[in-house]
Amino acid sequence: MIGNSLFSLLANVDIRRREELRTDAEALGKICVSPQARYLFVSDYTVAVDEKSPVFSPRFFTYSEVEQNGIFRETLGNANYLGSVDDLHYFSCDTTTIVRNLREKALLAGIEAKKLGDGGCRPKTRDRVLHPDTEIWGGLAWGSIRNLAPEWTPAEAGLAVEAVALNNMWRSARFCAECGAKIEVQNSGWNGACQRGHLLFPRTDLAVIMAITDDDDRLLLAHNGNWEQGRYSVVAGFVEAGETPEAAVRREVFEETQIRVGEVTYAGSQPWPFPKSLMLGYRGRVAQGASTRVIPDGVEITEAAFFSREEFMVALEERRVMVPGRSSIAYMLISDWAGEDLTRFISW
């Protein structure tokens, strides 16, 4: 923890986004073919990773390497500019359609995806398998940033998150919301415009996620009915129109558990491009004099309860409760409350 604010693994500050270059076609045109240019391939929520790396780091290609790649070369024309780190400039290429087509053809042919680690060779870090869903398509390994990012450098994680966020934005915003005309992406991925001149910019949906405690410092944890049995997390939800994040914290907790929240304080934030959210983390206390009887809404939340630290640690040891992945701010809020590193309890 830094001060009173949680440090997010995905909230990187090492990237210079270089907004002045986005509209400078001449300068960017020279940079993108230079030896300082690096390209990251993105497919849905995965990025190309280096299967030779012990932590499956993002695999960044030079311009010449992309040019020589017969399958993915065509994506160069629509590359998004991510910014610079040290002396290198980073771009991302949307390969989603290509990878989906490869996967569909394989499925129709009855060919299963080749997964990293097949044949008994599954590299591990800290005794944990890092790549349960990492697959090989088009001769490249594709890995989920949710699972792998905790082992990457801050710059690697930040670039991957930015790339996935831009990719998701433009795949879901192909037509103008005002007139229905097709959207053309401009300025190297940082705005779009339709034929009638309506502008669109990469959008972020605000969501709140909160560690709520009672007077005994017990933590409120909830189980979503769509999750696997035993998976618990802190309560979260989207900020509604005309609503402050603090009001959203109180509303979401009451709607899902019937617990009234009083004091609310900001804890930290995290980009979460699944598909395009910004998670605002909060700590809150049950309102003075309010009941601590938890009543799940029965629709989204099917189980919820307050846990003391002792109860929580026993439940973890007995595998009755599973914690969120280490790349999430939910994990950070829970481990901060618990006062210890909980990674030994994470099971992919």
Local confidence band at 121 (pLDDT 50, 70, 90 cut-offs) = very low
- In this prediction, residues 89-106 reach a mean pLDDT of 92
- pLDDT surpassing 60 at residue 119: no
Note whether 314 and 189 are same-domain residues: no
Helices of type H across the chain: 19-22, 25-31, 63-67, 96-108, 145-148, 154-172, 245-257, 309-317, 329-338
Please tell me the total count of domains within the chain: 3
Would 12 be classed as within a structural domain? no
- b/e string for 246-273 if b means 16 or more Cβ within 10 A? bebbbbbbbebbebebeebeebbbbbbb
Q: How far is CA 208 from each of CA 176, 247, 269, rounded to the nearest angstrom?
A: 28, 10, 9
Asked if the model's pLDDT at residue 1 lies above 50, the reply is no
Least confident of 72-81, 124-133, 258-267: 124-133
In tens, the pLDDT along 206-262 reads 999 999 999 999 999 999 999 999 999 999 999 999 999 999 999 999 999 999 999
* Residue 122 pLDDT > 50: no
43-57, 97-111, 266-280: segment of lowest average pLDDT: 97-111
In whole angstroms, give the CA distance from residue 40 to residue 69: 13
Question: Do both 164 and 209 map to the same domain?
Answer: no
**Residue 130 has what pLDDT?**
43
Q: What pLDDT score was predicted for residue 189? A: 95
Q: Are residues 26 and 167 in the same domain?
A: yes
pLDDT value at 148 more than 60: yes
Instruction: Specify if 277 maps to a domain.
Output: yes
Tell me the C-alpha distance between 14 and 293, whole Å.
44
71: pLDDT strictly greater than 80: yes
Which pLDDT score, from 0 to 100, does residue 32 have? 95
Counting beta carbons within 10 angstroms of the beta carbon of residue 171, is it exposed (0 to 12), middle (13 to 18) or buried (19 or more)?
middle
Region 135-148: what's the mean pLDDT?
86
Please indicate, yes or no, if residue 4 is contained in any of the structural domains: no
Tell me the H-state helices in 32-179.
63-67, 96-108, 145-148, 154-172
| pLDDT tens digit sequence for 284-342 | 999 999 999 999 999 999 999 999 999 999 999 999 999 998 889 999 999 999 999 99
The two structure tokens encoding residue 98:
């290509």
Predicted confidence band of residue 280 (pLDDT cuts 50, 70, 90):
very high
Asked if residue 164 and residue 88 are part of one domain, the reply reads: yes
Q: Kindly state the average pLDDT of the residues 91-98.
A: 95
23 and 168 in one domain? yes
Specify whether 26 is located in the same domain as 52.
yes
50 Cβ contact partners less than 8 Å away, ≥ 6 residues apart: 56, 57, 58, 59, 141
Nearest CA to 166 out of 9, 347, 22, 7 is that of: 22
Q: Please tell me whether residues 328 and 210 are part of one structural domain.
A: yes
Residues 232, 334 within the same domain: yes
CATH at residue 245 = 3.90.79.10
Indicate whether 300 belongs to any domain.
yes
**pLDDT recorded at residue 217:** 98
Contact 255, 248 (CB under 8 A): no
In a domain, 13, yes or no: no
Tell me: do 97 and 167 sit in the same domain.
Answer: yes
pLDDT of residue 69: 84
Q: For the segment 197-210, what is each residue's pLDDT rounded down to a tens digit?
A: 999 999 899 999 99
Domain limits for position 150 = 19-172
User: How many angstroms separate the first and last alpha carbons of the chain?
Assistant: 25
Domain membership of residue 261 (yes or no) is yes
Indicate if 100 and 165 belong to the same structural domain: yes
| Pair 185, 234 in one domain | no
Residue 294 lies in a domain: yes
Are 287 and 331 contained in the same domain? yes
Determine, yes or no, domain membership for 290: yes
| Segment 11-30 mean pLDDT | 88
